Amino acid sequence: MSNIKTAIVTGASSGIGRAIAIHLAQAGMHVYMTGRNEEKLELIRDQIEKTGGRASISAFDIRDIKKLQHFVQQAAQQTGRLDVMVNNAGLHLHGEIAEADPDIWREMIDVNIMALLAGSQAAIRAMRQHPDTAVGHIINISSGNAKEPGKDFYSATKHMVNALCEALTHELADEPIRVSNIMPGAVATNFGRSVDPVRIQELAGKLGIDVEIKKDEHLPDALLERIHAAMGQIFLSADDIAKAVLYVLNQPQNVVVREVYLTAPDVYLGKEFSM
């Protein structure tokens, strides 16, 4: 078995997943990354390898549960261990329940819940097969929206993620496998996928950026950097979430961090962002 820890990160081609993958690689882990955009994954892998890190990639739709579980098994087989599983992939599609296409609900359930369950199951089985690993760790990236499950359908799916974390915690209580739940508040990287494009367009205009924002698309890196630089008291950065993951992983064996809720100061104090 390799002495180098193995970590898996889903939804790693951009945003929070990308930041987590890079930070884990910088911490000396061999990071296995999955996402739908192969080109972006290749760029991240190259970035990690140029700085002496180790990374492997596989591009596929995480709703394909068999592929996801095979990917997890393959990572453990190739390295002889699995130490960390980060279920980061998530999807927020807009639409009021009374008006939405039911396919939207199914897609969010498949990504936010089913993929997390399938990834966790495969990770647990892999960790059990390699008992020489001192402690396995499953980290689920939920959302601050889970605190308001009645807000919309997306929030309800993240509330279920929290419940599943508790269920796994009980199931694995007698095993050396920890489960931690991280709930980010407003993060600049996912801002464009959870807020009306009109509001984002207005925000970009106030920051002096002329850019076309399309619904459900990721925001350009330049805009994300400007948003966070100008409004750091409202938006967290992807690096903030990645550092929280490292904090959880770096605790001694007698300490288990069950839940982390991260928000920017103004959000925590209840100050509402207005355009």
Is residue 150 classed exposed, middle or buried when 0-12, 13-18 and 19+ CB atoms within 10 A define those classes?
Answer: exposed
Which residues share a beta bridge with 32?
A: 8, 56
Among the options 32, 154, 247, 268, which is catalytic?
Answer: 154
Give the angle subtended at the CA of 51 by the CAs of 48 and 56, to the nearest 5°: 25
Distance CA 58, CA 42 (A): 9
Q: Is 268 a catalytic residue?
A: no
The partner residues of 169 in beta bridges, in order of sequence, read none
Sheet holding 136-141, edge to edge: 54-59, 30-35, 6-10, 84-87, 136-141, 177-184, 259-262
Helices within the chain (DSSP H only) = 15-26, 38-50, 65-79, 102-109, 115-129, 153-171, 188-194, 197-206, 221-230, 238-249, 265-268
Q: Are strands 30-35 and 177-184 parallel, antiparallel or unpaired?
A: unpaired
Residues carrying an active site annotation: 154
